[in-house]
Structure 1
């Protein structure tokens, strides 16, 4: 199989669809984010799945950006870089949650609950160091990047515009409901996941559209025939 730009973009489209579906699926029936959850097998599986989702989403938005790099302009570049940073930090944080926190839960009985509180929008009672700052940067990059990238894709007019609006809207919605209890907060994954799925399908479809052959019988036939001379 030849590796072409079209092949890579189709792979990115599949990654975006998979990321969106996984983002929604991993939140269904999600237990309360506490120490019991973090130290359980279910917690390891869900958090590892979130890491896979973040990597797939990063691949997906890279394809979305490259498909319309000229049309997206400077705003698209900024939105892509900020959102990409958000997904990179998300990958790191959920891998830490899945693999590190369970091993220290029995030793640092105060630290782990504080990290869990910080990751769900709560206020930790103790000091969790620079991790608090990194989590804030992650949230800002994810929310702000989604908004900027969604607006840039909307202005580019290449992919489904309603899906680009949904991507931007999901970032704003997350900010609005960030103070709500954990089960309601997780519902925000639905519009974001749907946006990734729709944009992935739109990217795939845009690559399948073949430009019509020029009309060699029409009035512009002579100009086309001599254009390469």
Structure 2
């Protein structure tokens, strides 16, 4: 299997993760926030997004540079820690009992969701709209009446980025044109 083919498969996983993430929004409206249905969607989506983000990053690794790698690493750390805290919520253990780990999860998650799209925009390979969607998602998430659509925005962004890589609808770097 070639690297390009592996990157496309990772991007496909990112799309599937985005689709599963979309399922969190109706689950939270139907069964309530932190319901088993919503947590299962979050857990599966997080696992898929951890792997899918590799495809999104590797598709632009040359253009992303050091800042891109750092933002990717912070994004991955945030996704992994979010997966752990979702798992603890599924086990009915408060992630806040983890103390500093929960604070580190929130800070790395938010920082990754801010830096990763900025690095993507800087690399100019992935489409702009999914990256702006991730940035807007952070602002929308702090407004109580809109907190349930965060998963919808996050899922749509991953579907958009994953589809661009999977279908090879990427902007060609200037040196390849």
* Rg (Cα) greater in structure: 1
Match of 1:6 in 2: 4
Match of 1:142 in 2: 109
Structure 1 residues 94 and 7 mapped into 2: Cα distance closer, same or farther (>3 Å)? same
Mapping of residues 92-131 of structure 1, within 5 Å: 92-98=84-90, 100-101=91-92, 115=94, 128=97, 131=98
Deviation at 1:167, TM superposition (A): 2.1
Match of 1:187 among 145, 149, 157: 149
CA distance in 2, matches of 1:85, 1:143: 11
Deviation at 1:205, TM superposition (A): 2.5
Match of 2:65 among 63, 67, 73: 73
CA distance in 1, matches of 2:106, 2:156: 20
Helix, strand or coil at the partner of 1:192: helix
TM-score (norm 1): 0.67
CA distance in 1, matches of 2:171, 2:139: 33
Helix, strand or coil at the partner of 2:82: helix
* Structure 1 residue 32 corresponds to structure 2 residue 24: no
Match of 2:160 in 1: 198
For structure 1, the residue ranges without an aligned partner over 5 or more in a row are: 38-42, 102-111, 119-127, 211-229
TM-score (norm 2): 0.84
| Alignment check: 8 A CA contact 1:159 1:206 kept | no
Helix, strand or coil at the partner of 1:206: coil
Match of 2:44 among 17, 39, 52: 52
For structure 2, the residue ranges without an aligned partner over 5 or more in a row are: 173-177
CA distance in 1, matches of 2:18, 2:121: 19
Structure 1 residues 155 and 52 mapped into 2: Cα distance closer, same or farther (>3 Å)? same
* Structure 1 residue 22 corresponds to structure 2 residue 3: no
CA distance in 2, matches of 1:141, 1:54: 14
